[in-house]
Amino acid sequence: MRTYRIEVLSLFPESFDGLFKLGLIGRAFSSGIADLRVFNPRDFTKDSYRQVDDEPYGGGVGMVLKPEPFFKAFDAIPILQKRRVLMMTPQGRHPSQKDFLRWATEYDQLVFICGQYEGFDERIRTLADEEISLGDFVMTGGELAAMSIINGVVRLLRGTIGSSESLVEESHSDLLLEYPHYTRPASFRNLDVPMVLRSGNHSEIKKWRQTQRELRTKERRPELYKQWIQEKETSYNASKALSGSITLNLRIGNGYDIHRLVPDRDLIVGGVKLEHPSGLGLDGHSDADVLVHALMDSMLGALSLGDIGKYFPPENAEWKGVNSLLLLEKVSDLLRAEGWKVVNIDSVVIAERPKLKPYIDLMRKNIGNSIGIDCNLVGVKATTNELLGPEGREEGISSHAVVLLERI
C-alpha cells in the first residue's frame, strides 16, 4: 500500500507535532499509512534575520509574507503525480465531506500552504490549486485549519479506520447528519433508548436511523436538508426521464385515532385549543390532537411506513406534551424525502361537544401551513355520534383521515 504524502509550508512547524499523538490519526502516521513533513520557509531565507515578511507596497497596516521563501520551500517538496496544493486563507471556500473524500481518494499527495501576519504576497497564490477556509472568521494563521483538514483526510485513508461502513453512514457523507447513537443503560435519568433499537429488527432499525438522519438534518442544518431534497428530486427526475415513464404515481392512505377525555388536560384539535363545557381535555403523551394524529397515520400508511408510534414513541420524553403540528411537519418532510407530496386531504372529527364548526377554517389553515400546501386542499368536517359509542358518551373524541399523495 502506497504511503499518502502530506507536506506543509508553515512558519510554526511545531504546531503539527500533536497530530502524531492523536489516536487513530497518530497510528496512521506511525504505521506508514500517511507521512507528514513540515517545511519552514524561514529555512530558505538568506539573511541573518531569516526574514519572511515585509511591508506592503502602497502602505497599510501589518506585514505581508514575501514570495521568495515560500517559493523556495515549495520547490523543495518532492512532487508526486497525483498532487493537490491547498492554501489556507480566510478568502477560500468552505470544504465539505465530499472534498475530504476527494482529496483522500483521488490524490497521493496533499500540500498545505499556511499563512501568517496580514496575508500572502499575491504571487504565492499561484502555487495553490484550491484556496480553503474553515469558516467566515480570521485566525492568527492557517495551521489549525490545515490540521483539521489533515485529520479529516487521514481518517478516510484505507487502513486508518477498521470499518469502512462507519465512514459511509457518518454525518455529511451524503449531505445528511448522522442518526442518534445510544448504549447501555437502556434507561438513564428518565431518558430511554428508543424501543426500535432494542427490538433486534434490523430492517426497522435501518428505517428508523434513516428517518432520524432526515429529521435531524431538517432541524439543525436546513440548508443541507434543502440541498439533499433537491439532489434527490433531480436524481428521480433524471431516472424517470431515462425510463420514458409518463405514468402519474398516486397513493392513498387512511388514518384513525381516538383519545380519552379526561380532566386537567388541554383540548386541542387541529392545532386549535378548545374549551369543553365540562372542562375536559384529551389524554396522551403529546398534546393528543386526534385530528393531526389521524392525518399523520394516513400519510405514513399511504407509503407503508408504519404509524406515528414508530417515529414518536410515547416512552420517549422528547415528545411529551409536544405540539402535534410540529410532528406533522416532520412527517411531511419524511414523505418529501421519500419523493412524495400531499395533494389532497379529507378528514372528519367525531365529538359530541364542543361545537367544532367555528374553528374548522383555522384547523385547515394550521394543517396546510404545517404540510406546506394550500388550505383549500385540506378538508376537515365535524360530526357527532348521536350519543352512541365512546364519542357519544363523551368518553373520548376520534378522527378519520384520508390523504392522496403524488410522486414528486
Asked whether the domain spanning 250-407 has the same topology as the one spanning 4-154, the reply is no
Other beta carbons within 10 angstroms of residue 48's beta carbon come to 6
Number of DSSP helices (H) and strands (E) in the chain, helices first: 12, 17
Task: Classify domain 250-407 by CATH number.
Answer: 3.30.1330.50
pLDDT at 240: 66
Q: Which of 257, 261, 256, 258 is nearest to 274 (CA)?
A: 261
141: which DSSP letter?
B
In this predicted structure, what is the pLDDT of residue 233? 82
pTM (predicted TM-score):
0.60
Yes or no: say if 328 and 381 are a contact pair by the CB < 8 Å rule.
no
Strands 119-120, 109-114: pairing is unpaired
Alpha-carbon distance of 169 to 284, in angstroms, equals 34
Question: Burial of 271 by CB count in 10 Å (0-12 exposed, 13-18 middle, 19+ buried)?
Answer: buried
Cell representation of residue 152: 479529516
Q: Is the peptide bond before 13 cis (omega within 30 degrees of 0)?
A: no
Are 42 and 11 in contact by the 8 Å Cβ rule? The answer is yes
Domain residue ranges in the chain: 4-154, 187-243, 250-407
What integer pLDDT is reported at residue 246 of this predicted model? 45
Identify any residues that bridge with 217 across adjacent strands, giving them in sequence order: none
Q: In the chain, pLDDT over 70 holds for what percent of residues?
A: 94
Rounded Cα–Cα distance for residues 204 and 186 (Å): 18
E strands of 79-178, at which residues? Answer: 83-93, 109-114, 119-120, 130-132
Residue 347 near residue 401 (C-beta atoms within 8 A): yes
Q: Which residue has the cell 431516472?
A: 239
> Hey, what's the cell of 53?
515578511
Residue entry with cell 365529538:
351
Q: Are 63 and 55 in contact (CB under 8 A)?
A: yes
Of 37, 39, 126, 118, the closest CA to residue 87 belongs to 126
- Decide if 336 contacts 295 (C-beta within 8 A): no
**Residue 383: its pLDDT value, please?**
96
Residues of the chain with pLDDT under 50: 163-166, 168, 246-247
| Superfamily per CATH, domain 4-154 | SPOUT methyltransferase, trefoil knot domain (3.40.1280.10)
Q: Is 64 left (phi over 0), alpha (psi -120 to 50) or beta?
A: beta
β-bridge partners, 35: 5
Residue 173's pLDDT is 61
Q: Which residues pair with 116 in a beta bridge?
A: 141
pLDDT at 139: 92
User: Distance from first CA to last CA of the chain, Å, rounded?
Assistant: 46
pLDDT, residue 168, reads 47
With contact defined as beta carbons under 8 Å apart, do 109 and 5 qualify? yes
